[in-house]
């Protein structure tokens, strides 16, 4: 399989292209058909009210769920034709609920991120070790190496999972509500970490976020979903408008500038 694209193409080929991608469960349609594309090396926020299909969409992007209609391409190639190993070397995914990983140390869990590279039987090489060390350093976990994951706080654990994704050494990160279990301080810390890493490593990212203000703060591009359809899309400034948010959430929303940075902040009226 020669699915890997030359580095020259990376900046131009979109990560994902969706043409009428739909998903339905039984007689219920979750996504009627989405057409959009996702650019590399940018942070995309998926926002929308409950039931809008954000989670379903990101699960399809992660190949955890097969679309029931339309065409979904990753790196210019039908997502279903990627073999599991190649795909895992290109896309890292963090589900909304991460398993407890009982009895594993931080290093061990992060090292699992190297699985797509060494496979079931291959040796764990010096390069693998280097990637793990880098991931630990980048997420500020160097001092946590031998700690047990199930004894860590929620914020620390989330960082370990992020480190595992980094060790996977992919060009794309998919995060499904990475902040849902965290308090405000850790939410901000986690998201700024994602933004910093995405910038420094040139990674494309798709992040499902509940808090529109958080999304506006870290994303380059916001995709607003409602009832399984793309209602609005654009830079944070384009989305953070009363009219757009009102339509998105069905609520009267106001906007005021952040007193320090001047960034728009949404609030419920």
Q: Where does this chain bind another protein (CB under 8 A)?
A: 23, 25-28, 30, 48-56, 59, 62-65, 84-89, 91-105, 108, 112-113, 115-116, 119-121, 148, 150, 168, 176-177, 180, 208, 210
CB of 259 to another protein, least distance (A): 30
Q: Which is nearer to another protein, 8 or 121 (CB)?
A: 121
Q: DSSP string of 151-193?
A: GS-HHHHHHHHHHHHHHTT-SEEEEESTTTTS-HHHHHHHHHH
Please give the Cα distance from 197 to 139 (Å, whole number). 9
Q: Among residues 92 and 197, whose Cβ is nearest to another protein?
A: 92
Cβ-based nearer residue to another protein, 85 or 254: 85
Tell me how far, at minimum, the Cβ of 226 lies from another protein, in Å: 11
Is residue 261 classed exposed, middle or buried when 0-12, 13-18 and 19+ CB atoms within 10 A define those classes? exposed
Q: CA gyration radius for the chain?
A: 19
Residue 63 vs 264, nearer CB to another protein: 63
- Give the residues across from 173 on adjacent strands: 92, 205
Alpha helical stretches, state H, 35-95: 54-61, 84-90
How many Å apart are CA 193 and CA 79, to the nearest integer? 28
Measured from the CB of residue 172, what is the shortest distance to another protein in angstroms? 12
Q: Which is nearer to another protein, 8 or 28 (CB)?
A: 28
């Amino acid at each position: 399989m020669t699915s890997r694209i030359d580095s020259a193409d990376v900046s131009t080929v979109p990560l994902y292209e969706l043409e009428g991608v739909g998903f339905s469960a039984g007689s219920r349609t979750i996504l009627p058909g989405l057409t959009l594309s996702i650019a590399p090396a940018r942070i995309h926020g998926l926002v929308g009210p409950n039931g809008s299909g954000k989670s379903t969409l990101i699960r399809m992007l992660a190949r955890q769920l097969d679309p029931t209609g339309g065409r979904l391409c990753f790196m210019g190639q039908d997502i279903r034709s990627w073999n599991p190993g190649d795909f895992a070397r290109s896309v890292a995914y963090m589900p909304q609920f991460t398993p407890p990983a009982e009895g594993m140390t931080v290093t061990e869990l992060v090292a699992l991120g190297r699985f797509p590279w060494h496979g079931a039987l291959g040796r764990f090489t010096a390069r693998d070790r280097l990637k793990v060390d880098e991931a630990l350093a980048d997420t500020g976990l160097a001092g946590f190496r031998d700690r047990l994951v199930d004894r860590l706080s929620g914020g620390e654990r989330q960082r370990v999972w992020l480190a595992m994704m980094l060790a996977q050494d992919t060009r794309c990160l998919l995060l499904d509500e990475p902040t849902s279990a965290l308090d405000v301080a850790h939410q901000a810390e986690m998201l700024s970490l994602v933004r910093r890493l995405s910038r420094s490593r040139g990674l494309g990212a798709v992040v499902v976020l509940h808090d529109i203000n958080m999304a506006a703060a870290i994303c380059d591009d916001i995709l607003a979903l409602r009832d399984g359809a793309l209602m609005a899309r654009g830079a944070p400034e384009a989305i953070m408008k009363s009219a757009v948010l009102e339509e998105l959430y069905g609520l009267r929303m106001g906007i005021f500038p952040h007193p320090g940075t001047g960034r728009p902040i949404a609030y419920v009226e």
